[in-house]
Every structure is written in structure tokens, then in C-alpha cells.
Structure 1
Amino acid sequence: MSNEKMMKAVVCCGPEDYRVEDVAVPKVRTGEVVIKVEACGICGSDIKAYHGSDMYWAGENPWLKAPVIAGHEFYGTVVELGEGAGDKHNIKIGDRVTADQINPCGKCRFCDSGKYWMCQVHNIYGFQQGIAEGGMAEYMRFSNTSRVYKITDGVTADEASLIEPMACAVHAVQRGTIEFEDVVVLAGAGTLGLCMVQLIALKTPKKLIVLDTNDKRLETAKKLGADEVINPLKVDAVKYIQDLTGGYGCDVYIEATGSPIGVTQGLQMVRKLGRFVEFSVFGSEVTTDWSVIGDKKELDIRGSHLGPYTYPIAIDLFERKLVTAEGIITHKYKIEEFSEAIATAQTSEAIKVQLIP
């Protein structure tokens, strides 16, 4: 009879086939960290994976390797440290910690040159069986190549649970190189967008306008620092921005909707020589007139992926109370209630839905 300790976990087995199962608690090995998970969020990318998006499931060798424990927005308390892990990360048993959502290989040309977030192997926690099991579980293991961060005492539990999206938002805002005189348009006021609102406001641009089709989210964006908010279903947003800027368009456009219209609308809205930051994960292909990017406007198109080197920044901003989790986390469920949680995450009432083991 096995003495193996068991735990509850959400196991992704295939599109729309996510199961709450009893699985073995991970055992620590050299250089590794095992945490008791305190919270794990459901991301927009989790919803797209749940519904079978080609980005995750297409081809004979899909990027998502099921069955795998889902979840990449996690934090927890250290319960076990493998040999050398405590000194490497400057952590001890009982510390609250999180880690980059990518489990870098540490060997490819990107990892070797410090660009670990673009690791060629690209294992993301919650998407690759065995190598990068996720945080929708009672316990989770960080590998010996993980980048682990201690969460300081002044960060609340809700704030700690939003470190991953805030870190991603920091990188996206950095990619926009926002200046004082810029008119900035942010499309999308979901969890990531509402994190970005706060960060853009800290950059003090000339004006920050937030777009979303959900009025409740727009209200939250206004509270968190947006100068103006627009529902494109009610107002001609492109005309509004053109009129506001004397016909030129916005200086910076950040796309965080995950909807193709967010791209085509932004290309119309941004001025010549403007900066377009693409953040979203899309569930379907986006098509547009590329001559707008080149011949018509000569735009800077900048991608934004993950949160490289920004976790300590996010933790520090929460510690100093320059950003907040207030108004962003709307629902919390137990692991056993995953079916209800994933359904709620797709409603207009939800912003951030979390599992609390």
C-alpha cells in the first residue's frame, strides 16, 4: 500500500475536459521548491485553452502537453526546499513566494543571453505535463531553473495573488515607452488592462483613455486612474480619438482585448510614427491591411510577452501601495468548484476569478 501523500488538483486532459482529481503531492528534488498554493487565478489564456484554441491544441505535437495540472497565476508558502534552493533564492520554509510563469530551460541561446522569457523550449507552468505542472492544486513544485521571488510582508494576500498579471502589465507598459506628452489608448479593461491602467497612470502621460465594451470594467478603470473611458459599442471610438488629437491619433496604443477588433481598431486610431503594443493572446486569426503599418503610418509594432525581470517591480509597487488589487478580484472558489469557476470567468460580471485551495 502506497504512503504517497495526495492532493486535489485541476487536471487539463483536453479541450473542455478539465477534471478535479486526486494526484500525488510533488516531492522536492535538488534545487527545487515546493509550495502550498495560496491562490491561483484563471487567466484569459486558460479560457482559450479550455475551449480548444489552435494556439494550444493544433497539430500532431501541440504546445499544450496534457494531461497537466493547469494554472500559471500562483503564489504560495514554501513548505519544502531542495538542496541549494534556499541559498539560491534567498528564501526559507514559511516564506511567501511566487515564480515566473515560464520554467526556462537555462541552456538555449535566449536563456544563455539573459532573455529567458523567450526560452526556445518555452515550458510555461500549467501547460506542459511533468515539466511544468501548474498552480491549480494544493501544492506546486518550482524546478531548479525557475526564477523564484520572495513576497514582502507589506503585500496583502489579494495583492500577492495578482503579482503575475501585474508583472506582465509592467512589461507591456515598459514596451510602450510612454512619455509625459503622450495620449495613450489602452484597449481592454480585464485583469491585465486594469493592472496596466494603474501603471500607465504612474507614468503621468498627457491623457489615458481606456476602451472596453463592459461598463462595469470601465467604471473600475476610471477609479484606478483612467482620465476617460469609452464603450466602443456606444461611441465611435476612432472618431473620438481623432477629434481629441486634432486628427492625428493617439501616440501609444496598447492592445489587451484578445479580440481581433482590438487590433484593427488600434491601427486606425494610432498616429503616424506611433507605438502599437500587442499584448493579447487570440483565440482566432487576426487579418488586417499591413500597408497601414508600413507605407501609410510607419508604425512601431512591439510585442509584449510574460513578465521578464518585472516580478520584483510588481512586488515593490504593491509594497509601496502605488498599485492595488482593489476592484479587480471579483470571485473566489475552491478547487472542487472549478466547473463553476471557469463558467463564472466567462461572464460579464467577472474580472479576476481565483481558485483558493
Structure 2
Amino acid sequence: MSETMQAVVSHGPHDYRLEEVPVPTPGPGEALVRVEAVGICASDLKCYHGATKFWGDASRPAWAETEVIPGHEFVGEIVQLDDAAAARWKVGVGDRVTSEQIVPCWKCRYCQRGQYWMCAPHDIYGFKRRTPGAMAQYMIFPADALVHKISKDLPPAHAAFVEPLSCALHAVERGGIRFDDVVVVAGCGPIGLGMIAGAAAKFPARIIALDLSDTKLELAKLCGADVTVNISRQDPTQIVRDLTEGYGADVYFEGTGHPSAVLQGLNLLRKLGTFVEYGVFKDDVTVDWSIISDDKELDVRGAHLGPHCWPAAVRMLESGRLPMDRICTHQLPLADFQAGLDLVGDGTTSIKVSLLP
């Protein structure tokens, strides 16, 4: 193995560079992993453009530090680890593995209460120097990481989809779907398609998918949507009311990150309905909060990361029930990372874009 590797390194907004850097050396209890695929997330793109409004503090600097290798949705093969790591994670050299995107401290209040996905230091791969990401030929899994095996029968880009799928499944769990519910999913990108698949596994009465793209709506049907609505041509609120005797939807999942989708969801939910927010917003969102309180008494729930959903996401991918060949639209070499970011930014020709180091 060479002593150096290629990696994408963030030097600030609009300044990501392909560089030759040392191959990292695993410490006690850690693993060295050869990266097979890394997906480009919308949050990667927002970070690339210099976003500062993430995770609750608009006054702080950009949440991604500089001199960091990005990439938090990935799969790879273990090439080196010690006995302690092998015993803790029940893995060995040659296994294909993924790691949950957050590396918990296991010491803060949230970790001590089992709420590790809200860990106070919040070290997510690819955003801090302590946890370099996967846009590289090799990466380290720290000793505190959460690691899962995944089948080698899956193409690398499909296996790396386990991260956004786990996030989508967590959002579905937050929705508390019941068998007779009418469920609406706004946005049929990677997260929205995963929400539809997860919601379908709950077997509600009807799943309605909303998007501006007919291509994405076709994929939504393949993932389990019963009704699709192109909101550029149809009124989703009226359609939902017509399908629910005028009451409205029981559960609404917001996966677009667009402010208009928030008011849309508040309007098409029934009284006592549930609103689940997963999207990350670039702009402020302003709504009439009396809709939430005095008008409908809604349950509004956030969803963050994919806690406790990774094994289910692995099983769903391995089952073959998702149209992964059509979801994973673009696989590019690491050197073409800029083209990958541009594809995600355009949003009209791709669903999931991955780099294959």
C-alpha cells in the first residue's frame, strides 16, 4: 500500500481541491478502511457554498472546518484493525463495512441517556478535523464509531446509500404511521424516496408523493407511492382533501428543504395531524403558527440522522426492493468531484451522485 493517497480537501467555500495526502494510520481500537464509494449529500453542497445556518446556531462560523476531507455517506473494506476493534465491532480484515455518520463522544448528557445522535460535540465525518470523511482512498473509523457490515453483493454506490436511507427511516419512525393513515411525502430525492419506501413498509392506507419532476415521481411509485402529484401542474392540498373526505392527511414528511413546502404541509394536514421535518433550509421559514396551535393542534417533529435504523436500512438494500439502479444515477471518479457537486447543485439530471475512489 502506498504511503500517500488522493483526497478531496476543503479549504473553504468554493475551494475544494484534489490533493495527495498521507494515508492515515489507525490508532488503538481504530480501523483503516479503503473507501469504495462515497455519496454527495445536499448538505455537502451547502457546505461547499459556505452555509453557516446549520444545527441551531446561525451566529457561529461555517459548521464545516477547513483542511478537512468531506464525505459522510460511504462504504468500504477494512484493511487494518487491532483485536480490540475487531471484537467491539465483530468485523475483520476484508469485511465490507459502513459507519454511522456521527461519531459519538459517549460522555455527554445525550450519549449517557442513549440519545447518541444528538451528541453535544457532534463529530460527523467530513465536517471536523477530528473526523475526516470519505472523499479519499482511505479513511479511519475511530474507536467510538458505530460500525455495520454490509453485503459485498451490492454495487458500491448502492451500498453507500445506506446512510441517506437510514436517515429516511428515522424520519418515518418519527411520523408514528398507523395502518389507516394517509401519508404525504414532499420531495422525491434520495431522502424522500427512502421515506416512501419506509412508509410503505408500515402499510398505511395511502402514500402520496409530491415533486416537480415526473421522473422522480415515477421512482416514487417504484418505491411504494400509491398516488403521485406534480405540484407544478396540480394542487396537492385539493387532491389530498379529495382523497380524505375533506379532512386532510394524517402524516406529512417534509424532505425538500424549501420554505414553501412547510406551509404546504401545514395546509394539507388534518386536525391533530403530524408534521415531520427533515429538510435543511438555506433560507428562513415564516409561517402562521396559529395553524399549528389554535387551528389544528398539530404534532410537529424534527428528524436528524438515522439512529437505530442502520440495520434496517442494510436489510432493505440487501433485499433488492428498491430500484437502486435508477436511484444511483451517477458514479464518478474521485478526480471528478467538482462535476459531482455541480450535478447535485443542478438537481434536474441526477438523483444520487457518488464518487468511487
TM-score (norm 2): 0.95
Structure 2 counterparts to residues 34-45 of structure 1, below 5 A: 34-45=32-43
Distance in 2, matches of 1:157 and 1:203, equals 28
1:165 — aligned with what? Answer: 164
Whether the 8 Å contact between 2:187 and 2:211 is mirrored in structure 1 is yes
Matched, 1:228 2:223: no
2:244 — aligned with what? Answer: 245
Whether the 8 Å contact between 2:157 and 2:354 is mirrored in structure 1 is no
2:215 — aligned with what? Answer: 216
1:345 partner SS = helix
What letter corresponds to residue 247 of structure 1 in structure 2? Answer: G
1:69 — aligned with what? Answer: 69
Q: What is the CA-CA distance between 1:123 and the residue it aligns to?
A: 1.0
TM-score (norm 1): 0.95
Structure 2 counterparts to residues 259-274 of structure 1, below 5 A: 259-274=258-273
Q: What is the CA-CA distance between 1:58 and the residue it aligns to?
A: 5.6
Distance in 1, matches of 2:231 and 2:317, equals 31
1:91 partner SS = coil
What letter corresponds to residue 280 of structure 1 in structure 2? Answer: G
Distance in 2, matches of 1:15 and 1:276, equals 33
Whether the 8 Å contact between 1:74 and 1:135 is mirrored in structure 2 is yes
What letter corresponds to residue 310 of structure 1 in structure 2? Answer: C
Whether the 8 Å contact between 1:201 and 1:225 is mirrored in structure 2 is yes
Comparing 311-320 and 161-170, the one that deviates more: 311-320
User: CA deviation digits over 1:64-87, x for unaligned, max 9?
Assistant: 211210010111000110351001
Matched, 1:14 2:12: yes
Q: What is the CA-CA distance between 1:156 and the residue it aligns to?
A: 4.5
Distance in 1, matches of 2:53 and 2:68, equals 16
Whether the 8 Å contact between 1:180 and 1:205 is mirrored in structure 2 is yes
2:183 — aligned with what? Answer: 184
Would the alpha carbon gap of residues 194 and 299 (structure 1) be closer, same or farther in structure 2, given more than 3 Å must change?
same
Q: What is the CA-CA distance between 1:354 and the residue it aligns to?
A: 0.4
1:54 — aligned with what? Answer: 52
1:313 partner SS = helix
Matched, 1:325 2:324: yes
Distance in 1, matches of 2:320 and 2:340, equals 29
Matched, 1:95 2:91: no
Distance in 1, matches of 2:351 and 2:152, equals 26
Kindly tell me the number of residue pairs found equivalent between the two proteins: 354
2:176 partner SS = coil
Distance in 2, matches of 1:154 and 1:201, equals 25
1:171 partner SS = helix
Show structure 1 runs of 5+ residues with no match: none
Structure 2 counterparts to residues 140-155 of structure 1, below 5 A: 140-153=139-152, 155=154
Q: What is the CA-CA distance between 1:49 and the residue it aligns to?
A: 1.1
Distance in 2, matches of 1:338 and 1:50, equals 12
Q: What is the CA-CA distance between 1:185 and the residue it aligns to?
A: 0.3
Distance in 1, matches of 2:307 and 2:6, equals 30
What letter corresponds to residue 76 of structure 1 in structure 2? Answer: G
Whether the 8 Å contact between 1:278 and 1:304 is mirrored in structure 2 is yes
Distance in 2, matches of 1:38 and 1:90, equals 20
What letter corresponds to residue 82 of structure 1 in structure 2? Answer: D
Show structure 2 runs of 5+ residues with no match: none
> What is the identity percentage for the equivalent residue pairs of Structure 1 and Structure 2?
46
Distance in 1, matches of 2:138 and 2:343, equals 24
Whether the 8 Å contact between 1:29 and 1:83 is mirrored in structure 2 is no
2:203 partner SS = coil
Q: What is the CA-CA distance between 1:10 and the residue it aligns to?
A: 1.1
User: CA deviation digits over 1:297-323, x for unaligned, max 9?
Assistant: 111111111010111111122233344
2:26 — aligned with what? Answer: 28
What letter corresponds to residue 118 of structure 1 in structure 2? Answer: M
Distance in 2, matches of 1:48 and 1:21, equals 22
Distance in 2, matches of 1:63 and 1:158, equals 26
